[in-house]
Amino acid sequence: MSNASTSDINPTIGAMLRSARDFLAHEHSLFRTLALEPVLIGRGQATFALTLPPAFADASGFIHGGLCTIVLDSIFGLTVFTAMEDVKPIATINLRTDYVAKARPGARVRCAAQCDAVDNDVAYVSGRLALEQGGGLIATASGAFMIGTKGPMKGMRV
């Protein structure tokens, strides 16, 4: 995460995002397996690169769509934090994922998300999961996230 991509973010949110990045990349077992790497984190946007491991292949030899949804949901949630002024817990209200193509194990992909709007206590996010080489689209998604939910922000240290 470069200074240029976070210069317009509240310092408290910036610290939380660094914590989230470290948690996702090093402490979260799934994302450590995916070799998750931040590409861009800025106000209302986040892009991460990752590798799709063979362990998540379905019977037909392609990556299971559930993994794609987990990645999109997690990166979308992080993107909501980049759009907020204060650190508050969030929760996914809904997530719609449209699968465009299947990906093979070992493929390197990028998940890019943007927070399209925040209205009262709901943030709206959209994004895509695409192959790094050639940019072939795997899935698009949109979701809504409740801001200020009750409960701890697990893994997030400010």
Order of strands, sheet of 90-99, starting from the edge strand that comes earlier in the sequence: 37-42, 45-51, 108-119, 122-131, 137-147, 90-99
- Residue ranges of E strands in the chain: 37-42, 45-51, 90-99, 108-119, 122-131, 137-147
Q: pLDDT tens digits for 105-139?
A: 999 999 999 999 999 999 999 999 999 999 999 99
User: pTM higher than 0.75 for the full model?
Assistant: yes
* Domain coverage including residue 116: 3-147
Say if CB 107 and CB 95 are below 8 A apart. no
Look at residue 13 and tell me if it is in a domain: yes
- Region at 120 (left for phi over 0; alpha for psi -120 to 50; beta for the rest): left
Cα–Cα distance for residue pair 34/81, rounded to 1 Å: 22
Q: Mind listing the pLDDT tens digit for each residue in 59-94?
A: 999 999 999 999 999 999 989 988 998 878 999 999
Domain annotation covers residue 157: no
Number of domains in the chain: 1
Question: What are the pLDDT digits (tens) for 3-41?
Answer: 334 455 566 666 666 666 666 656 667 777 888 888 988
Query: Quick check: is 158 in a domain?
Result: no
Domain assignment of residue 156, yes or no: no
Q: What is the distance between the alpha carbons of residues 52 and 97, in angstroms, rounded to a whole number?
A: 18
Whether residue 153 is contained in a domain is answered as no
154 within domain boundaries: no
With beta carbons less than 8 A apart as the criterion, state whether 53 and 34 touch: yes
143 lies in a domain? Answer: yes
CATH of the domain at 27: 3.10.129.10
